[in-house]
Amino acid sequence: MNAEIIAVGSELLLGQIVNSNARFLSLHLAELGINVFYHTVVGDNPIRLTTAIEIAESRSDLIIFTGGLGPTKDDLTKETIAKHIGTELASDQKALLSIEEYFKKTNREMTENNRKQALVLKDSLVLPNDHGMAPGMVVRSSEHIYMLLPGPPKEMEPMYLVYGQKALARLTETNEIIVSRVLRFFGIGEATLETVIEDLIDAQSNPTIAPLAADGEVTLRLTARHSNQDIALKLLDETEAQIQSRVGEYLYGYNNSSLIQELVKGLKDKKLTISAAESLTGGKFQQEFTSIPGTSALLKGGVVCYTNEVKQKLLNVKTETIESYGVVSSECARELAENVALLTNSDIGISFTGVAGPDELEGKPAGTVYIGISIKGKGTFAEKLTLGGTREAIRTRSVKYGCYYLIKQLKESQNL
């Protein structure tokens, strides 16, 4: 089955927003084994939209539309499709009720225009909108499947995942359930990971294995299909176990998790408090940590010690340490981690000191980074990193490595 995604909206053609919907749908259609051969963007214009539909019908089996389901007179996707395929629009009772509820909940006045949003293509399968008003719909002609989805990603994405994907599986008569799982790795490069599991990737069919690298992390998306959900999940488990047996030590989390989230979880489980002394990262570790709600019981705070003056005055780094080893050193990292924990009375202290660049520092090149970790009752140590990339990439990766080392410590230490 070949698919085409048609995004309807003049705001896309004016460059006001980027077509992230096409990306999202492409990624998930690939999981269903559906080939996407074209993306098209067309404005809110019935003649041009009709032409785009005709072209799509000539080359694709499944046509997914995003956008143009809103209440204003610019929104004409379903009207144009109805006219084109020779059907009518009818009010959907469930959708109308849900719109009325939405207005009641948000205490706003409902207008006649909003009633228009409950109109759907006659005999279509209606996809409920759990995050907005316009329902989606799927309708089938003798040769094509048309799926209409709303434009805002926060409405479109959950609608597709919860209702759209199932409808497609049913309509394409596969009757298969699709389950996927993303394995998240850190500390291993994409090329190395792919080499280690090359035979699994080459032999993949069900589950499929799709690697993706971004921001110093590598993910593997496993997608299994089966008419029985339990068997589909078992297929995922088996493939994951094979992967784990080879690169399990680098696996840190699943799906939408992140290193900082895993660290927060680990600290919460063990009821440990933490504080940070940040030089080159300038507060990035603490900022990311506190971006997660409810972390005030874990992170006491810390010091951004951007200058040597603050390292010495607030964090008591010894003059002889700086004179003998410099601030970009294992010795300084250890003192910073130990002292920030003492100062704030935390169980763990972590420190980041190094050269973010672009210029070198103390004769050490950009990308030289030391991470200090001090754990109450376990001692203090430091790790050295040699990172490449821009200033921002070096800072970002430093924070990720810091989280990664801590997560490993928490896992390995039974008695923490």
Binders in 90-119 for a copy of itself, by CB under 8 A: none
Window contacting a copy of itself (CB under 8 A); options: 80-88, 194-202, 278-286, 379-387? 278-286
Window contacting a copy of itself (CB under 8 A); options: 80-88, 105-113, 194-202, 307-315? 307-315
CB of 223 to a copy of itself, least distance (A): 13
For a copy of itself, the binding residue among 129, 239, 286, 374 (CB under 8 A) is 286
**Percent helix, strand, coil in the chain (nearest 5)?**
45, 25, 30
For a copy of itself, the binding residue among 291, 324, 386, 413 (CB under 8 A) is 291
17 contacts 8 by C-beta, under 8 angstroms: no
How many other CB atoms sit within 10 Å of the CB of residue 402? 27
Q: Is residue 221 part of the contact set for a copy of itself (CB under 8 A)?
A: no
Q: Is residue 14 part of the contact set for a copy of itself (CB under 8 A)?
A: yes
d(CA 207, CA 238): 9
Q: Which residues pair with 89 in a beta bridge?
A: 121
Token readout for 392 is 């921002």
How many other CB atoms sit within 10 Å of the CB of residue 278? 26
d(CA 151, CA 41): 12
DSSP secondary structure code for residue 124 in this structure: P
d(CA 23, CA 38): 11
Q: Is residue 299 part of the contact set for a copy of itself (CB under 8 A)?
A: yes
206 contacts 239 by C-beta, under 8 angstroms: no
Q: Is residue 358 part of the contact set for a copy of itself (CB under 8 A)?
A: yes
CB of 378 to a copy of itself, least distance (A): 23
Nearest alpha-carbon partner for 33 in 210, 230, 214, 238: 210
Window contacting a copy of itself (CB under 8 A); options: 36-44, 186-194, 249-257, 258-266? 36-44
CA triple 142-143-146, angle to 5 deg: 95
Q: Is residue 215 part of the contact set for a copy of itself (CB under 8 A)?
A: no
Contacts with a copy of itself, 361-400, as mask; x by CB under 8 A: ------------------------------xx--x-----
Q: Which is nearer to a copy of itself, 7 or 410 (CB)?
A: 7
Contacts with a copy of itself, 153-182, as mask; x by CB under 8 A: ------------------------------
Q: Rounded to whole angstroms, what are the CA distances from 279 to 306, 312, 369, 386?
A: 5, 12, 10, 16
Window contacting a copy of itself (CB under 8 A); options: 76-84, 118-126, 260-268, 283-291? 283-291
For a copy of itself, the binding residue among 32, 36, 224, 416 (CB under 8 A) is 36
CB of 320 to a copy of itself, least distance (A): 21
CB of 137 to a copy of itself, least distance (A): 23
Q: Which is nearer to a copy of itself, 122 or 313 (CB)?
A: 313
251-254 β-sheet, strand order? 208-214, 217-226, 177-186, 251-254
For a copy of itself, the binding residue among 216, 302, 349, 354 (CB under 8 A) is 302
d(CA 99, CA 114): 8
CB of 267 to a copy of itself, least distance (A): 14
d(CA 9, CA 75): 8
Q: Which is nearer to a copy of itself, 86 or 363 (CB)?
A: 363
CB of 34 to a copy of itself, least distance (A): 11
d(CA 338, CA 303): 13
For a copy of itself, the binding residue among 52, 138, 327, 382 (CB under 8 A) is 52
For a copy of itself, how many residues bind (rule: CB under 8 A)? 73
Q: Is residue 184 part of the contact set for a copy of itself (CB under 8 A)?
A: no
Q: Is residue 316 part of the contact set for a copy of itself (CB under 8 A)?
A: no
For a copy of itself, the binding residue among 270, 271, 313, 384 (CB under 8 A) is 313
Alpha helices in 172-307 (DSSP H): 190-196, 198-203, 229-247, 259-270, 284-290
